[in-house]
Structure 1
């Protein structure tokens, strides 16, 4: 059993030194100004060892934290593994972060060094000064500056419980929380993935995993990277998702497994069909959130299954549930059935088990003696939030899920996104999914706004594809609501349609639900917010 991510990497590199470890296809190479092609396991191991020696000589060790602002470049992985060997935790920094976000992250994590793209070094140093943190920066190929302080845990052995990474949640409803993730967390993620069966069987040393997802998120760090370390094979880490060239990248790299998020299938389906849609070697896709209406059409057109899964940064693979066995119930938001490694409850607002297929909050824990085994180690500097998340010995996910009579789980929405109108629970995600199919809608976000009679009313913020005159607002709003009424129960349709230039988003491009709720309080009565409540009538 390996004790660290670095141990696992070096063992696999020693076993397959001449095999391809990383493949950079042409689009990513151009975006980053780096060489296209393969880096072999042996070459990667030599670079990791060079960096490990440099960091050790500069005084970095067990208990330090180092920031990585390197986007999805190979250098991210090399510096991560080298630092991990010394017991140093890495703090991935989203390159989209700006001043206030950087001040918070640097101050909260207390990183003394960031390995960064040179053009962002000054921003990081300015943020560190504002946070009052002694701080250095270096480029990925620079000499390592001396550590600011001695390693806090220098006398302790490095092992599975050592912090490997500090990943910040998106902060859709408040300040991002720092999730402390151990070596055990990452190792378990790779082992779980490599042991999948059914639709998602892994072939040792043969798979080529392509992902456009960012290395500052757990999916790319803990799943796609770690499965390659456990099972061998090659990682194809894209700079980001490019819908026009994604299939070309898949072909060029020989990808056999693809990682996705829900928006990606929709963007690929928006392109005109082509014979080239089936010209790839992809066996299956690993992801979450594909729109129900897109699921079957995508699989028919591109000829590989999109296998839906559920996990969170806090849970890693410890409570991951995946629809990797048939029947997958395509097009239903089904993410699989309970497996032996996890215990699951669905509860109402009072903490009581829900009955039938009613939705309830998903509570999870590891099966066995230790309910927190392989989960996150806690929220940094926030023991109260950690205790709250684990109330009653179960991790409270904040996700609403329902379960059918045969044990299949179906994602409904985030609990905080649910709108309660006249006693009916309405999922913001469900309504957004329908609104986004209207030809005038580029993107939408739905939230509750107060209603004196019904408690909440549905308010939709709409970003349109083409600019509108104010005189067109009422007509387009009516068209959007009619579109919703044709596909949803009347009470789910928007009672207000607000035309906005942009939606409030987090640095990772998720809807900033906290800001959205505040916005929804103030929009009714403004000129660009159309009252469509009169259109919402119960069907005869």
Structure 2
């Protein structure tokens, strides 16, 4: 069945509920002390449909319909999914907010997306009100969702939803500083689901049998796009904790009967460093699916934990992945997969010419020559220039460097975009640059990625202070606090280095690749200030 034949996500939910009935659709593992479902909670497909219908009636009575966007700050609450389907049947789009965002970041997304309502957990209601002051966007709580909602400011568009209707707007970091809003349709999510269902090999999905565990946030495409859509079209169950917890990882997998899981590179790294225990071989996991596992750890992970860790490559924009899921897998390399029908791939130079096998090039993708954008995102909201730049010459330009071998296998090298990848979060260095340069004691700044054994990459700031500022640990802490008040904690630089000057190009832009000689470890430079110990996620309140 072609993804475009599925219609809306709600229609697929109806079909799946009719076939799989009371089988588990979604689940939250137990976690003592958590404010929501501390004993765990599961929802069947029939129950999920009924709850979606109940919320649909509330939104419909208030006048919500096609063209309306609703922002959600839900911190992994499973209730979000019932709103997701309820709004989908009405033709509305959801805008998930990263719970680590600060006020300025929340305000930007709500204003840029033109959201007409915010639905948030009780503990973040005041944050939303402060962030959205003056925007005339009402907010209601997820826990005490009212039977009557404020009416939207604008009337809905005429007509009903279909496959081409926007279902979600996910914001992803870009090189221009501010996140870009990816417009994602019903067809896009169905492409993810059917692609996953048809991938086969080690990652084959058995209809109605899989119980998938994804500790990555639902406001990312990995969980919302890949895992959720894959389970929706195959009738499997999706379990998700509030976040990755190494201490309860194996317990969750065993108690929830997990058969497949998703990971980021940091997760197997952490698990390998834990003392061996009997639980790590008492599970029913058939495969792990993820990105970023260290090639030097790959074989040991599979030997110790007893299941394959299958690498794939994807972006929020692509709606599908390439993966090294066919045996024999190349687990001692950084292989990420081959082009397959429905996803053509090349490695190209700056002129979009194919590079020879074995030479680095940018990974570019398309569905086919006849329909290059089929199944991909629909574009960046209010940024046609960025959309067309990404799609130049009929291929989507990923900004990632790869090599290709004679057998068509692609090997991931690095990101050419100015993106820092920290524990699964994409951080735009330009956004951190912008924050720091606004400080009165900063003359010039270059934010860049440095290697991190645990988190893949960490954030470093190279600062040229103003003449009247004193460089050193005190200034580093002052700038750290400045960033920490304005940015999500994971974006704040952990390493700080003060310089008298920074190299610049002829256009007077900082030439980041010339700051340190090749082979230099920036973190070991004289005078570097290490504030990794100060970089911590905000403490969770009882309501979290």
Quickly name the TM-score band, shorter chain normalised.
0.7 to 0.9
Q: In the alignment, which residue of structure 2 is the partner of 1:218? A: 221
Whether 1:436 and 2:453 are equivalent positions in the alignment is yes
Report the TM-score when normalising by structure 1. 0.78
Instruction: Specify whether residues 237 and 84 from structure 1 end up closer, same or farther in structure 2 by C-alpha distance, changes over 3 A only.
Output: same
Q: Contact (CA 8 Å) 1:24, 1:38: kept in 2 or not?
A: yes
1:113 Cα offset (Å): 0.7
Separation in structure 1 between the aligned mates of residue 205 and residue 369 of structure 2, nearest angstrom: 26
1:275 to 269, 273, 278: 278
Separation in structure 2 between the aligned mates of residue 367 and residue 295 of structure 1, nearest angstrom: 33
Q: In the alignment, which residue of structure 1 is the partner of 2:348? A: 347
Separation in structure 2 between the aligned mates of residue 53 and residue 442 of structure 1, nearest angstrom: 45
1:16 Cα offset (Å): 1.5
Separation in structure 1 between the aligned mates of residue 124 and residue 287 of structure 2, nearest angstrom: 37
Secondary structure at the residue paired with 2:213?
Answer: strand
Separation in structure 2 between the aligned mates of residue 507 and residue 356 of structure 1, nearest angstrom: 43
Q: In the alignment, which residue of structure 2 is the partner of 1:128? A: 132
1:38 Cα offset (Å): 2.1
Q: In the alignment, which residue of structure 2 is the partner of 1:99? A: 103
Q: In the alignment, which residue of structure 1 is the partner of 2:327? A: 326
Q: Contact (CA 8 Å) 2:117, 2:138: kept in 1 or not?
A: yes
Separation in structure 2 between the aligned mates of residue 245 and residue 195 of structure 1, nearest angstrom: 31
Separation in structure 2 between the aligned mates of residue 105 and residue 503 of structure 1, nearest angstrom: 30
CA deviation map 1:208-241 (0-9, x unaligned): 0001010000011111111111101211111100
1:8 to 6, 12, 21: 12
Instruction: Specify whether residues 507 and 347 from structure 1 end up closer, same or farther in structure 2 by C-alpha distance, changes over 3 A only.
Output: farther
Q: In the alignment, which residue of structure 2 is the partner of 1:79? A: 83
Q: In the alignment, which residue of structure 1 is the partner of 2:401? A: 400
Secondary structure at the residue paired with 2:363?
Answer: strand
Alignment of 1:188-337 (within 5 A): 188-317=191-320, 320-337=321-338
Separation in structure 1 between the aligned mates of residue 22 and residue 405 of structure 2, nearest angstrom: 48
1:41 to 40, 45, 49: 45
Instruction: Specify whether residues 122 and 445 from structure 1 end up closer, same or farther in structure 2 by C-alpha distance, changes over 3 A only.
Output: closer
1:444 Cα offset (Å): 4.7
Q: In the alignment, which residue of structure 1 is the partner of 2:142? A: 139
1:176 to 174, 179, 203: 179
Secondary structure at the residue paired with 2:178?
Answer: coil
Separation in structure 2 between the aligned mates of residue 256 and residue 89 of structure 1, nearest angstrom: 31
Separation in structure 1 between the aligned mates of residue 174 and residue 269 of structure 2, nearest angstrom: 25
Please list every run of 5 or more consecutive structure 1 residues that lacks an aligned counterpart in the other structure.
420-430, 451-460, 464-489, 509-540
Whether 1:494 and 2:498 are equivalent positions in the alignment is no
Separation in structure 2 between the aligned mates of residue 202 and residue 91 of structure 1, nearest angstrom: 29
Q: Contact (CA 8 Å) 1:261, 1:290: kept in 2 or not?
A: yes
1:129 Cα offset (Å): 2.0
Whether 1:159 and 2:162 are equivalent positions in the alignment is yes
**How many residues end up aligned between the 2 structures?**
452
Q: Contact (CA 8 Å) 1:106, 1:127: kept in 2 or not?
A: no
Q: Contact (CA 8 Å) 1:228, 1:235: kept in 2 or not?
A: yes
Q: Contact (CA 8 Å) 1:445, 1:503: kept in 2 or not?
A: no
CA deviation map 1:465-511 (0-9, x unaligned): xxxxxxxxxxxxxxxxxxxxxxxxx9424265333203999999xxx
1:29 Cα offset (Å): 7.8
Separation in structure 2 between the aligned mates of residue 113 and residue 59 of structure 1, nearest angstrom: 12
Instruction: Specify whether residues 417 and 353 from structure 1 end up closer, same or farther in structure 2 by C-alpha distance, changes over 3 A only.
Output: same
CA deviation map 1:60-118 (0-9, x unaligned): 10110001111211101111010011000000011111111011011101111111101
Instruction: Specify whether residues 444 and 168 from structure 1 end up closer, same or farther in structure 2 by C-alpha distance, changes over 3 A only.
Output: closer
Separation in structure 2 between the aligned mates of residue 506 and residue 337 of structure 1, nearest angstrom: 38
Secondary structure at the residue paired with 2:159?
Answer: coil
Q: Contact (CA 8 Å) 1:322, 1:335: kept in 2 or not?
A: yes
CA deviation map 1:252-273 (0-9, x unaligned): 1000000001100001001011
CA deviation map 1:337-395 (0-9, x unaligned): 11111121211223322113011011111125211111111100111111111111111
Q: In the alignment, which residue of structure 1 is the partner of 2:509? A: none
Instruction: Specify whether residues 146 and 449 from structure 1 end up closer, same or farther in structure 2 by C-alpha distance, changes over 3 A only.
Output: closer
Separation in structure 2 between the aligned mates of residue 177 and residue 416 of structure 1, nearest angstrom: 14
Whether 1:360 and 2:361 are equivalent positions in the alignment is yes
Q: In the alignment, which residue of structure 2 is the partner of 1:109? A: 113
Instruction: Specify whether residues 28 and 363 from structure 1 end up closer, same or farther in structure 2 by C-alpha distance, changes over 3 A only.
Output: farther
Secondary structure at the residue paired with 1:27?
Answer: coil
Separation in structure 1 between the aligned mates of residue 328 and residue 401 of structure 2, nearest angstrom: 22
Separation in structure 2 between the aligned mates of residue 358 and residue 365 of structure 1, nearest angstrom: 21
Greater Cα shift, 363-372 or 132-141: 132-141
Q: Contact (CA 8 Å) 1:289, 1:308: kept in 2 or not?
A: yes
RMSD of the TM alignment (CA)? 2.8
Separation in structure 2 between the aligned mates of residue 506 and residue 89 of structure 1, nearest angstrom: 32
Secondary structure at the residue paired with 2:34?
Answer: helix
Separation in structure 2 between the aligned mates of residue 494 and residue 34 of structure 1, nearest angstrom: 44
CA deviation map 1:311-359 (0-9, x unaligned): 1011121xx1011112210031111111111121211223322113011
1:276 Cα offset (Å): 2.2
Q: Contact (CA 8 Å) 2:74, 2:142: kept in 1 or not?
A: no
